[in-house]
Amino acid sequence: MAARFPTLQRLLLPLAAAVSFSLTAHAAEPPIKVGLVAALSGQSAKSGEALTRGLTMAINEVNANGGVLGRQLELVRRDDESNPSKGMLAARELVQREKVTVLFGGLDTPVSLAIVPLANQMKVPFMGIWAAGTKITENGAADNYVFRVSAVDELVDEALVKYGVDKGMKKPGMILINNPWGESNEAGFKRALEKRGMANAGVERIQDSDLDVVPQLTRLKNAGADTLLMVGNVGPSAQVVKSLDRMGWDVPVVSHWGPAGGRFGELAGPNASRVHFIQTYVFTEHNSAKGDALLAALKAAYPQIKTLADVTPAVGIANAYDALHLAALAIEKAGSTDGKAVRDGFYAIGDYDGLIKHYQQPFTASKHDALGPEDYLFTHFVNDQIVPLAAKE
């Protein structure tokens, strides 16, 4: 009888191991999900991919250091196709079905503005990492769950007007995308100009579908515009450059950061470099230690990145990277994934040495934007690579 015990042991050991594995798996904490709603297809897909890469690199770092609250982070994405209705539906799905703790929002101001009321109603922190519309964070909600690590239109408009004036601008014309983002910047430009007692040569609208904007530009030229203040994403901004070429009008173009969002150098043609536009971060040959480490990690994770031109638009990567680390700190401060606790956790962040800057109390109950004018730099395209203008002047 005793001789049978080893056989019985051999039979029971796998069963015991399976039970042990089952109990361990059951006890393991599920990941903390974070969501991204952004344009992952269409002409802005390159920007959506940059946001994905920035979030992914930061998540990898957080997870390698033990995660948050002892749990790993997991990214869940949805494509908004630059459509506000689709963006709102995607956000609702991520919050209700996927139970994301923090929702990251993408490229287009109209899409983000559609998501803002949902985030505030459902009490889920919504972190903007590209769209710059002033009203995204300054949304009037008494209980505001919307934060941002990105540019802010009103501050950008002031910076663009100051840059133009420093370059000799006396009477600018505005060429603006015909949507709420364009409207937001029109108001900001006019305030910045009025503050200086400056007139403008008029306001012209452009559409995503425009294949020629010579009529709008001709009106601005005839009105005496000596500089163009431009707001538009890649496609319409490229059409402005090509229409200027057709007109033979050599006028300075000072732009919001829309041209950074995709294949602007290719679409605008050889004179893409004439457009001077704002950014919050650019990878160069000489970065901070954190910048060099992130660039090396990006090259290791994405073999298609071989040169600096391949990490365009760096602004999407940088904004998303810093925003994810700040969100992880907020969850840690909250001690839970409860929406209100995480929202208050953002206010509790003391400092974080990030990629774009060293953040010191980046958020308060009255300040939901972590970046300001001191964090902007001017750039242009050189052979499909975004290059700081200071390096060329």
Q: Would you state the pLDDT for residue 260?
A: 86
Burial of 348 (0-12, 13-18, 19+ CB in 10 A): middle
**Residues 199, 126: one domain?**
no
Instruction: Please check whether residue 366 lies inside any domain of the structure.
Output: yes
Instruction: Please check whether residue 62 lies inside any domain of the structure.
Output: yes
**Residues 267, 303: one domain?**
no
Domain edge (last residue) among 257, 279, 301 = 279
Domain edge (last residue) among 279, 311, 341 = 279
Q: Would you state the pLDDT for residue 311?
A: 86
Cβ-proximal residues to 361 (8 Å cutoff; 6+ apart), any chain: 349, 350, 351
Instruction: Please check whether residue 241 lies inside any domain of the structure.
Output: yes
Q: Would you state the pLDDT for residue 313?
A: 85
* Full-model pTM: 0.85
**Residues 260, 345: one domain?**
no
Instruction: Please check whether residue 121 lies inside any domain of the structure.
Output: yes
Burial of 165 (0-12, 13-18, 19+ CB in 10 A): middle
**Residues 270, 305: one domain?**
no
C-beta of residue 37 within 8 angstroms of C-beta of residue 106: yes
- In the chain, DSSP assigns E strands to 32-38, 73-79, 102-105, 126-128, 146-148, 172-177, 203-206, 227-231, 253-255, 275-279, 351-353, 358-360, 377-382, 385-388
Instruction: Please check whether residue 19 lies inside any domain of the structure.
Output: no
Q: Would you state the pLDDT for residue 13?
A: 52
The structural domain count of the chain equals 2
**Residues 194, 250: one domain?**
yes
Burial of 215 (0-12, 13-18, 19+ CB in 10 A): exposed
Q: pLDDT tens digits for 71-129?
A: 999 999 999 999 999 999 999 999 999 999 999 998 898 999 999 999 999 999 999 99
Instruction: Please check whether residue 356 lies inside any domain of the structure.
Output: yes
Opening angle at CA 180, ends 364 and 41, nearest 5: 95
**Residues 247, 348: one domain?**
no
- DSSP string spanning 23-65? HHHHHSPPPEEEEEEE--SGGGHHHHHHHHHHHHHHHHHHHHT
CATH number of the domain where residue 220 is located: 3.40.50.2300
Measured distance CA(323)–CA(54) in Å, rounded: 9
Q: Would you state the pLDDT for residue 46?
A: 84
Instruction: Please check whether residue 316 lies inside any domain of the structure.
Output: yes
Q: Would you state the pLDDT for residue 151?
A: 94
**Residues 114, 222: one domain?**
no
**Residues 142, 38: one domain?**
yes
Domain edge (last residue) among 279, 306, 330 = 279
**Residues 107, 122: one domain?**
yes
Q: Would you state the pLDDT for residue 393?
A: 44
Range of the domain at 217: 154-279
Q: Would you state the pLDDT for residue 309?
A: 83
Dig out the tokens for 391 from the structure: 């390096």
C-beta of residue 294 within 8 angstroms of C-beta of residue 321: yes
Low-confidence ranges of the chain (pLDDT < 70): 1-27, 390-393
